[in-house]
């Protein structure tokens, strides 16, 4: 799995390749239900990131900086899914 992020920075447009995506933004309780569905899939790491932890906000900002503002203003969490090394074919 590859997620591409098109970014316009100070040096012009660029494409970032991530093996991580923010799938949903909602309350922690609702994201727990979604996480249980995704966590059964082999090769995926599923995390719920909230504004309570600065490291969580950093991870969200790395993928989509606009989501940080939503999480902070509305007191919501983000569901982040990453393809782990085995899913990418490494040994």
Tell me: the pLDDT tens digits for 20-75?
A: 888 899 999 999 999 998 877 778 889 999 999 999 999 899 888 889 999 999 98
pLDDT of residue 5: 59
The CA-to-CA distance between both ends of the chain, in Å, stands at 16
pTM above 0.75, yes or no: no
CB 3: neighbour CB atoms within 10 A?
A: 15
Could you tell me the two tokens for 79? 């569901």
| Element of type H or E holding 81 | strand 77-83
């Amino acid at each position: 799995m590859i997620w591409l992020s098109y970014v316009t920075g100070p040096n012009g447009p660029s494409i970032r390749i991530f093996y991580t995506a923010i799938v949903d933004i909602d309350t922690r309780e609702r994201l727990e239900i979604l996480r249980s569905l995704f966590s059964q899939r082999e090769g995926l790491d599923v995390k719920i990131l909230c504004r309570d932890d600065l490291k969580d906000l950093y991870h969200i900002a790395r993928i989509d900086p606009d989501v940080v503002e939503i999480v902070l203003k509305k007191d919501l969490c983000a569901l982040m899914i990453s393809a782990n090394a085995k899913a990418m074919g490494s040994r």
